[in-house]
């Protein structure tokens, strides 16, 4: 009985000890989907963050303290992501948050960040309207669907000689957003839309969709999907003997995508903000470190996580403080060189100056076909 009675006191003491210890670190919150349909993609982002965290702490951290990243699972769902953000802010007292993955989830925590005055950096959410909401605490260190479409629509239409295009997207704001943007850009260049269809996250059988694609007579198909959905789709496309050219957005230029899709991945074009075959020295060092840590080449989301943490820590260092407003101001002065180019933020918090590439998948490697710098 005595033991039971003393348990709460003991727990309290432990909590206090943890709290006292925690004073010595700079805490950054990280919200990614670690379970659910995009868990795989969320985890690669966390891996990128961890790699960057190791580099930062090996150099002595920031402001003389070690950096601590507290990871929460947002499941790509707005409600869970808000809970995670509240927990990170109220209980863990983080100085800034990186996240979330899905645009809808990120949109849900933007007001939370604003009302609590916490800087929020996303390296993933690409729905164009996020940076148009006028939220001064929000920063996007990646491309938007509109930027990708603008960069590559012309090259795609000309290089693949597309006349009739089918658009296939995952049924959420990432899929619908990118389908709309690409359709707008490619129609303007004279490519006719012959099909526009969506599918749910985690769909396993694409035969119906592909049968329709075959019947539509399209000579090119635009697909916006993540690794597991996209790889299954292109694999089944080969099973049906379809020769329609495929180009896509999403995490396509990754080692796992090519492993899952096998030979069916050959010849596919992907417009991505990062490919492990980009030739900058900074990227070669990143790929080497990432492969040493995880035994697989980094993908789009690994780079996103890696950049997000470096950008944030860099801002805290320049702010010389963990005060939210000073970090926010320092983020606006960002001048960071990442594996995929140079990052700075405009007034709306949208990153510019970095490189996006069009790659063609060939025997397990993404070959860079064209690249473009995202201008203001």
Partner 1 sequence: MDLFLQLAANGLVTGTFYALSALGLTLVFGLMRVVNFAHGELYMVGGLIGWALTAVLGWNYFLALVTVIAALGIGGYVIDQVLIARVRGQGEEPTILLTIGLSIFLANTALLIVGTTPVTVASPFASKPLFLGPVVITQARLVLVAICALLIVGANLLIRKTKLGRAMRATFQDTMAAQLVGIRTAHIYGFTFALGATLAGAAGMLLGSIYTVEASMGGVISLKAFVIVILGGMGSFAGAIVGGLILGLSEALWGGYVATGYVDAIGFALVIVTLLVRPYGLFSVRAERA
Which residues sit at the interface with partner 1, rule CB under 8 A? 34-37, 39-40, 42-43, 171, 197-200, 202, 204-205, 207-209, 211-212, 214-215, 227-228, 231-232, 235, 238-241, 256, 260
Q: Could you tell me the smallest distance in angstroms from the CB atom of residue 215 to partner 1?
A: 5
65, 24 in Cβ contact below 8 A?
Answer: yes
Q: Which is nearer to partner 1, 2 or 204 (CB)?
A: 204
Q: Which is nearer to partner 1, 119 or 299 (CB)?
A: 299
Beta strands in 61-191 (DSSP E): 66-73, 96-98, 120-122, 138-140, 164-170
| Separation CA 130–CA 209 (nearest Å) | 30
Q: Which is nearer to partner 1, 260 or 317 (CB)?
A: 260
| Separation CA 52–CA 339 (nearest Å) | 12
Residue 145 neighbours by CB under 8 Å, 6+ apart: 126, 127, 128, 174, 177, 178, 180, 181, 182, 249
Instruction: Look at the chain and count its residues.
Output: 376
Q: Could you tell me the smallest distance in angstroms from the CB atom of residue 259 to partner 1?
A: 9
118, 96 in Cβ contact below 8 A?
Answer: yes
Q: Which is nearer to partner 1, 83 or 131 (CB)?
A: 83
Q: Which is nearer to partner 1, 29 or 36 (CB)?
A: 36
Q: Could you tell me the smallest distance in angstroms from the CB atom of residue 65 to partner 1?
A: 30
| Structural element, H or E, at residue 372 | strand 365-373
Q: Could you tell me the smallest distance in angstroms from the CB atom of residue 197 to partner 1?
A: 5
Q: What is the Cα 176 distance to its own chain's centre?
A: 17
Q: Which is nearer to partner 1, 35 or 158 (CB)?
A: 35
C-alpha pair distances (Å), 6 with each of 12, 16, 17, 28: 10, 15, 17, 33
Q: Which is nearer to partner 1, 14 or 171 (CB)?
A: 171
Q: Could you tell me the smallest distance in angstroms from the CB atom of residue 209 to partner 1?
A: 5
| Separation CA 121–CA 139 (nearest Å) | 5
Q: Which is nearer to partner 1, 99 or 341 (CB)?
A: 99
Q: Could you tell me the smallest distance in angstroms from the CB atom of residue 235 to partner 1?
A: 7
Q: Could you tell me the smallest distance in angstroms from the CB atom of residue 5 to partner 1?
A: 30
Q: Which is nearer to partner 1, 214 or 282 (CB)?
A: 214
| Structural element, H or E, at residue 8 | helix 2-22
336, 307 in Cβ contact below 8 A?
Answer: yes
Query: Between β-strands 341-345 and 351-362, what pairing exists: parallel, antiparallel or unpaired?
Result: antiparallel
| Separation CA 70–CA 80 (nearest Å) | 16
Q: What is the Cα 161 distance to its own chain's centre?
A: 30
């Amino acid at each position: 009985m005595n033991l039971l009675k003393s348990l709460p006191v003991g727990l309290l003491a432990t909590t206090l000890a943890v709290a006292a210890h925690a004073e010595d670190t700079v805490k950054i919150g990280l919200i990614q989907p670690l379970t659910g349909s995009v868990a795989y993609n969320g985890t690669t982002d966390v891996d990128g963050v961890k790699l960057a965290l190791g580099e930062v702490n090996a150099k002595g951290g920031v402001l003389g303290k070690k950096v601590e990243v507290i990871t929460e699972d947002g499941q790509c769902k707005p409600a869970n992501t808000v809970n995670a953000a509240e927990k990170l802010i109220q209980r863990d007292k983080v100085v800034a948050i990186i996240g979330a993955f899905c645009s809808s989830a990120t949109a849900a925590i933007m007001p939370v960040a604003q009302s609590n005055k916490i800087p929020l950096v996303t390296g993933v959410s690409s729905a164009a309207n996020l940076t148009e909401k006028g939220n001064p605490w929000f920063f996007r260190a990646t491309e938007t669907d509109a930027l990708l479409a603008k960069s590559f629509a012309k090259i795609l239409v000309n290089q693949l000689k597309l006349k009739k295009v089918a658009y296939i997207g995952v049924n959420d704001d990432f899929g619908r957003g990118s389908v709309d943007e690409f359709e707008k850009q490619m129609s303007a260049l004279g490519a006719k839309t012959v099909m526009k269809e969506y599918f749910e996250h985690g769909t396993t059988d694409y035969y119906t969709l592909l049968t329709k694609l075959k019947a539509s007579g399209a000579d090119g198909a635009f697909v916006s999907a993540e690794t597991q959905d996209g790889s299954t789709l292109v694999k089944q496309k080969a099973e049906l003997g379809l020769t329609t050219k495929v180009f896509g957005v999403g995490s396509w230029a990754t080692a796992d995508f090519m492993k899952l899709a096998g030979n069916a991945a050959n010849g596919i074009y992907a417009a991505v903000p990062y490919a492990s075959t980009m030739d900058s020295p900074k990227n070669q060092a990143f790929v080497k470190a990432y492969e040493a840590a995880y035994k697989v080449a980094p993908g789009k989301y690994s780079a996103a996580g890696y950049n997000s943490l470096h950008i944030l820590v860099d801002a805290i260092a320049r702010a010389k403080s963990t005060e939210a407003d000073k970090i926010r101001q320092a983020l606006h002065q960002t001048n960071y060189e990442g594996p995929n180019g140079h990052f700075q933020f405009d007034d709306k918090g949208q990153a510019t100056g970095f490189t996006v590439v069009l790659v063609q998948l060939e025997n397990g490697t993404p070959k860079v076909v064209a690249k473009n710098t995202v201008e203001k």
